[in-house]
Structure 1
Amino acid sequence: MRHLKLIPDDTKIPFSRWRYVAVGLSLVVMIAAVVLLVTRGLNFGIDFKGGILIEIATDGPADIGSIRNDLGGLGLGEVQIQEFGQADDVLIRVAAPEGDDADRASQAVVEKIKGVLGDGVEYRRVEVVGPQVSGELVEDGILAVLISVALMLLYIWFRFEWQFSLGADVALVHDVLATIALFCLLQIEFNLQSIAALLTIVGYSMNDTVIVFDRVRENLRKYKKMDLAALIDLSVNQTLSRTVMTSGTTLLALLALFVFGGEVIRGFVFAMIFGIFIGTYSSIFIAGPVLLAVGVSRDATNGGLGGVSKEKATGEA
């Protein structure tokens, strides 16, 4: 019985031939991410800038103009009202009250809004985040991403060698910056779910990179005289079928969530879909070329901190 294969087992795609173009493109993306972050900035959600978020469902199609007029007379400052998902779903955002007792003031604002809207609506979600809490969440979110990348660096260093660790971490930083660039460019709301998406992308990208690096290490022991660029190409081609199948099945699940999961998780799922593509790309076109640039020991059978680099892989071993 023959099995259907999307990718043949004996592919010979010369990935290393395009490494300069790929690295150049990635450098542009990473620089653009920094520029966009400074100039355009992230569209922080209520988790990170504080405020009040109320999701309601009206009886029939929502009259956005009428709701805006009703809330406009309350003197709440900046109020954003938008349709959310179905025609009867409405999302209301109110800036966080300032002052020493911001939490109590926020609760008072919620009660005012409920009083104006009346009993003819269904309150599906009410979230209140104070300015102090939102500031702490920003710091904790940044710290979580930085710690995850640092721990991944140590993990690869122990499991392989520092050259592998450098390649994997450059790929991780690339993936994080590329995803942040997407958020800045499209102004997708950046909230706690976005941090979860970034951490998931880091884990997914690292898993894909480890699979490739495992095969590279095996081939380093097996092919003592093969040129390193050819050896990396061989390793990527040998793991290509597994990479495509894993990415494809993950994408199917994410696409289903994107279509049927609702607006609440759509930003998270969109970031994950992008992360699948960028993580697979970086494992092939970023991690490999970095490893090729710094070289790696041919005789490091155990790798990690205990591996002793006696001879760089330059092709003449």
Structure 2
Amino acid sequence: YFEAKAGPGIEKLREYLKENTFVAYLLGKKNSGKGTYSKMFAEVIAPNRVEHFSIGDMIRGVDEELADPGRKKELMNFLEKEYRGWASLPEITSALEKRNTRTLLPTELILALVKREIGRREKKALFIDGFPRGMDQISYSLFFRDLIGYREDPDIFILIDLPEAVIDERIKYRRVCPECQTPRNLKLHTTKEVGYDEKKKEFYLICDNTGCPASAAGGQGAKMISKEGDESGIKPIRERLDMDAELMQKAISLHGIPKIILRNAVPVEGAEKIVDDYEITPEYSYEWDEKNKKVKVIEKPWIIKDDEGVPSYSLLPPPVLLSLIKQMVEILHL
């Protein structure tokens, strides 16, 4: 697919990455696919030369360090030498130990931790996921590459435009295997087998991960379940979504740094001129065949309303990645 649609561009990027790197900041609302697109880019272009760097994963790693006395001491020694900021080291330690998903850590601390983490790794092209997160971090991002030793590398903002209706249904219908944690979506990413609870009159997905403990012995996969609160969709993260939208608007207005804009949705009207049918996200619904005691799976193109109320198709990841590849070639002047 990618070779057919962007073969020359892919070769140019591979050649570029043999001797060069870049820093790309992923900006998009929660669940917009930042990790998906950057990891797919690496897989298609150069797995050994591109890395998805998640600030959230880094902080979760710090949580593990804090739980280990020996590693915590090493971390504190590092911060004593490298951290510069308004909060004292005891205050920083307390912020780390008492943090929650609603409170952002001080930017100066994030920068120190990022510098340490990147210093441990081989230099590669970076997709930064999770920075900037606050309005104050937008200005820091303009000089971020200097702070992490990528002074001569191109830096790019990648803005992911995703209708909130897509995020809402991704959350409401997501399911996870309780045994192996494999994620799926009842409406958008079905499994090979689907079950039906006749008492509850509910359809459910059956995990099809071959490595799942539930099916390891040749049995049926586990019944996939929803996470508590998922039925509320985007309501619990409304504040976060608004902040993400504000950040993206701020980033668009910045001068001096190139931008890539990725759009997940296209209007239904005229879509046939832009995308192929197989590039559109399918929607799955189910019917129970009482006579044969089987679930019938029905597939059709998924139509949502974008944030302006326009009926639109949501795209699968490959065509969005294709846009990323083509725009990256242009920005790097390849």
Higher normalized contact order (CA 8 Å, seq sep 6+, divided by chain length): 1
Q: Does the pair score TM above 0.5?
A: no
Larger Rg over CA atoms: 1
TM bucket (normalised to shorter chain) is under 0.3
Q: Which has the higher strand share?
A: 2
Q: Which has the higher helix share?
A: 1
- Report the TM-score when normalising by structure 2: 0.22
